[in-house]
Chain A
Amino acid sequence: MSEKTKKLSAEIKDSLGYLFFKNPVLVCGLVIGQLAAGCTNLQNGAALSITYLFIVVPVLVFASVIGKRLPEIIKTVSYMLVSAAMLIPAYYICGGFSATIFDSAGIYPALLAVSTVPVVYSNKFAEKQTVSKAFFNGVFLALGFALTALILGGAREFFGSGSLWGYKLSEGSFPAVKLPFWGFILLGFMAAGINAVRDIFKKPEYIVPQNEEERV
């Protein structure tokens, strides 16, 4: 295996943790609000996941490529403008699945543009990473977010209205599960589930780093 391939596979292995044991929502505590209040069904979960992927990957790659060369005021502004611009492709891709899924999630997909990863992670981590590392981090952060969003959205839709992706599966329903407080409680139990799995596999606790130096 060449040195380049080894480096690439190490980067992928490092980023893979964001799917589960370093999950951005359930372990790092990021983007909680958008899921607790905005992810009330599977379609909303899909819209949020697509939007997050389209925002996070380009912003982190952009930060990794030119972040270090820009003065602080310019780079923060440019990250935000890239992030806001990425709402356009996300909107069109979501429209491909269903005409209304982006709109039905309300203001929450748009709020992802100013969430912690584009604002903080790009500044403190991505700038000091290679382009490939920033890319894989972005992809797996988004996939970890998507995993949480789809499970949470699916569960809330099933229990809240007895359906999945709009298809009726059962008659009984518990509409309160769609309210934000249930979102927080369900996310809390999902986070506890990850801790339980970590306990079973005897994995060490993940301490969320404050910058790239701490992370490495």
Chain B
Amino acid sequence: MTYVAQFFSMMLTALFIENIIFTRALGTSWMFYLIKRPKEIVRYTLMLMAVITLSGAIGYPLRGYVYDSEYRHILVPMMYIAVMTVVYIVVYIFVKKVLPNQFEHFGMNLGTAVFNCAALGSVLVPAGERLDLISTLGYGIGMSLGFGLAVVIVGYGLSRLEYCRVPKIFKGVPIALIYLGLLSLAFYGLIGHQLPT
């Protein structure tokens, strides 16, 4: 029961308090890509969840070998990129052989679905905080759900902004970034943070 509580507590922390987009700003460019393709959101969120969970689980026993090194700032990410490479090969073969329809959907984007800042960041943060396996997995799943949530919220807001009279120089990337910043600020306040003084 303790493990279940620990798992869900970390999941909710990652989903709301340390949201992958609004708090950590991981995978923002990828989010903007997905907003233009709403039908892909669920598929990519599930893929992100699978990649984070597998990378977190495989990397967990390995990180002990590199974490005490004085070069951990590069060794830990390099180790996780190597782990994600293995995950990519497994996912590529699995999707190609078992889910050929999905393979066609992903096409060349399968690499992007596996190797992205959201996935690497979601395994590096728990590794940096030396969370145990249950917390690492809970955190990873919460991060991926948080990513899906952020894509939906930001996408909805940006679609509404298309009907507003935005000054010409703010159209496109500028208004999207400012809107994301304001949403991030709202999230920051919503979860009870105070601005530093």
Task: Give the B-binding residues of A (Cβ under 8 A).
Answer: 26-27, 29-34, 36-38, 72-73, 76-77, 80-81, 83-85, 87-88, 91, 102-103, 106-107, 110-111, 113-116, 119-120, 123-124, 175-176, 179-185, 187-189, 191-192, 195-196, 199
B4 within 8 A of A: no
CB–CB A33/B28 < 8 A: yes
Contact of B111 among A36, A81, A123, A199 (CB under 8 A): A123
Chain B's closest residue to A72 (CB) is: B108
Given contacts A80-B81, A84-B82, A110-B124, contact A33 B27 (CB under 8 A): yes
Known contacts A29-B29, A91-B73, A192-B170; can you find 20 more A-B pairs with CB under 8 A?
A31-B29, A33-B117, A34-B117, A36-B28, A80-B84, A80-B115, A83-B81, A102-B74, A110-B78, A111-B121, A113-B81, A113-B120, A116-B29, A119-B116, A180-B22, A181-B185, A184-B180, A188-B177, A192-B174, A195-B174
Q: Mark B75-111, 1 if CB is under 8 A from A, else 0.
A: 0111001101100110010000000000000001001
Q: How far is the CB of B66 from chain A (nearest CB, A)?
A: 13
The answer for the CA separation of A25 and B22 in the assembled complex, in Å, is 18
CB–CB A188/B81 < 8 A: no
Q: How far is the CB of A68 from chain B (nearest CB, A)?
A: 14
B39 within 8 A of A: no
Count of chain A to chain B residue pairs whose CB atoms are closer than 8 Å in the complex = 168
The answer for the CA separation of A127 and B99 in the assembled complex, in Å, is 28
CB–CB A87/B78 < 8 A: yes
B173 neighbours in A (Cβ, 8 Å): 26-27, 29, 188, 191
CB–CB A181/B116 < 8 A: no
